């Protein structure tokens, strides 16, 4: 197989691409500390999207492991986690960051955010969706306690580690290199970096 084109998810920005059923989407944590919010939409109907709440009800886990399949809001398979060298601490629980979220964290005025990055990346492909689905937060480390308390922890993914998602239908994949620089979710507070992906 020829080497796939290495595509950029710019620091604090989004990117989107089309993929066909059976293709492998490799998401590389180039610098090891970067959360990549990830969404997938059916190519046939962008109102059918990868659903964290339907996926958890399918694989019956808070976090997917290699072999687990994410489902859409129509309960159809859309992505399967087929390979992972990152430690597979990927979050399914937290909303994409957005401008009101940064407001709650004390930011006044503009702040880059994953919600806007999603919609801007989709717009490049001419795609519009009527809501912001809850994302698969690749490399985002949200531990839980027996009592159900959650925390914002640093990523455990080494630099250059990756997750590979197999497309189970023709789809649009969208990413945002999370610009969260107030909580330590991207490693050392204040640090936000680029990431990369390939489709082949």
Asked if 98 is part of the footprint of a copy of itself (rule: CB under 8 A), the reply reads: yes
Smallest CA-to-CA distance from 191 within 26, 35, 37 is with 35
Answer for the pair 194, 179: CB distance below 8 angstroms, yes or no: no
* 66 part of the interface to a copy of itself, by CB under 8 A: no
Among 22, 123, 124, 144, contact with a copy of itself (rule: CB under 8 A): 144
Residue 106 Cβ vs a copy of itself, minimum distance, rounded to whole Å: 13
Count of residues interacting with a copy of itself (CB under 8 A): 35
- Give 1 or 149: the residue with its C-beta nearer to a copy of itself: 149
Letters for 12-41 (x = contact with a copy of itself by CB under 8 A, - = none) are ------------------------------
Contacting a copy of itself (CB under 8 A), which of 51, 117, 141, 176? Answer: 51
Minimum gap (Å) between residue 69 Cβ and a copy of itself? 12
**Whole-Å CA distances, 118 to 60, 111, 144, 153, 156:** 27, 14, 27, 23, 24
Kindly state the tokens that stand for 183. Answer: 């909580």
Q: Is 128 in the site for a copy of itself (CB under 8 A)?
A: no
Q: How is residue 177 written in tokens?
A: 């290199």
Nearest to 34 by CA among 197, 167, 165: 197
Q: Which of 8, 150, 189, 190 binds a copy of itself (CB under 8 A)?
A: 150
The verdict on 151 binding a copy of itself (CB under 8 A) reads: yes
C-alpha to C-alpha distance for 114 and 12, rounded to whole angstroms:
8
* 1 near a copy of itself, rule: CB under 8 A: no
Check: CB of residue 195 under 8 Å from CB of residue 27.
yes
């Amino acid at each position: 197989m020829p080497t796939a084109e290495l595509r950029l998810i710019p620091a604090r920005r989004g990117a989107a691409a089309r993929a066909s059923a059976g293709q492998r989407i490799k998401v590389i944590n180039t610098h090891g500390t970067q959360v990549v919010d990830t969404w997938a939409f059916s190519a046939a109907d962008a109102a059918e999207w990868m659903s964290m709440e339907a996926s958890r009800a399918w694989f019956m886990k808070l976090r997917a492991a290699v072999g687990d399949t994410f489902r859409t809001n129509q309960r159809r398979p859309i992505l399967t986690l087929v390979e992972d060298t990152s430690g597979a601490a990927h979050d399914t629980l937290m909303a994409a960051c957005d401008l009101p979220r940064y407001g709650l964290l004390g930011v006044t005025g503009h702040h880059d955010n994953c919600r806007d990055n999603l919609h801007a990346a989709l717009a490049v492909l001419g795609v519009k969706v009527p809501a912001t689905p809850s994302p698969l937060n690749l490399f985002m480390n949200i531990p839980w306690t027996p009592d159900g308390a959650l925390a914002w922890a640093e990523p455990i993914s080494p630099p250059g580690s990756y997750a590979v998602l197999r497309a189970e239908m023709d789809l649009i994949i969208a990413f945002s290199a999370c610009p969260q620089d107030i909580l330590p979710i991207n490693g050392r507070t204040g640090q936000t970096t680029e990431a990369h992906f390939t489709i082949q």
